[in-house]
């Protein structure tokens, strides 16, 4: 996976190393961090584009994020696409969770799934919530899931 910063700078090291460096740097400045991981997608013609983000929130001091974009020609139903978004977020969270434990950083996985049953994405809510919670991660859905519904949405 190729990651970049919001300003477009490519992250030229493994993402775990970049995340660890960010945690160490921010902790050294006295910042208490919380990390939120989310994914959003858009269908554009025959392609589905995904954007996954790792959002670092500094308590009372703003935040920053790392971004990964990916495209596929796989055709998804709305439920399949929502669950693919969640799966991508869970993979990132799983790959990094030992770092968050090591440095005592709270982490949440955000799903771009509406809690209102009148929206199509709600079809995947139960499975997504079960998957995320079953992996031992904190879970947020819309409207609280800003990492996926706002941050990833802006870069997909």
Which domain covers residue 89, as residue numbers? 4-155
The pTM score is: 0.95
The number of beta carbons lying within 10 Å of the beta carbon of residue 44 is 10
| Best CA proximity match to 112, nearest among 151, 76, 75, 77 | 151
Structurally, the chain folds into a number of domains equal to 1
DSSP designation for 106: E
Residues sharing a CB contact under 8 Å with residue 105, sequence separation 6 or more, in sequence order: 23, 33, 34, 35, 99
pLDDT tens, residue order, the chain (156 aa): 899 999 999 999 999 999 999 999 999 999 999 999 999 999 999 999 999 999 999 999 999 999 999 999 999 999 999 999 999 999 999 999 999 999 999 999 999 999 999 999 999 999 999 999 999 999 999 999 999 999 999 999
> What secondary structure letter does DSSP report for 131?
H
Q: What is the CATH number of the domain that holds 146?
A: 3.30.420
């Amino acid at each position: 996976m190729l990651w970049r910063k919001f300003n477009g700078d490519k992250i030229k090291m493994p993402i775990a190393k970049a995340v660890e460096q960010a945690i160490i740097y921010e902790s050294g400045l006295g910042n208490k961090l919380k990390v939120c991981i989310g994914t959003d997608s858009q269908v554009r013609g025959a392609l589905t584009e995904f954007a996954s983000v790792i959002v670092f929130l500094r308590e009372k001091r703003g935040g920053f994020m790392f971004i990964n974009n990916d495209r596929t020609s796989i055709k998804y139903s709305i439920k399949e696409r929502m669950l693919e978004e969640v799966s991508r977020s869970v993979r990132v969270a799983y790959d990094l969770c030992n770092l968050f434990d090591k440095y005592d950083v709270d982490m949440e996985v955000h799903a771009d799934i509406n809690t209102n049953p009148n929206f199509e994405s709600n079809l995947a809510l139960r499975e997504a919530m079960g998957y995320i919670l079953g992996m031992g991660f904190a879970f947020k859905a819309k409207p609280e899931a800003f990492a996926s519904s706002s941050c990833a949405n802006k870069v997909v």
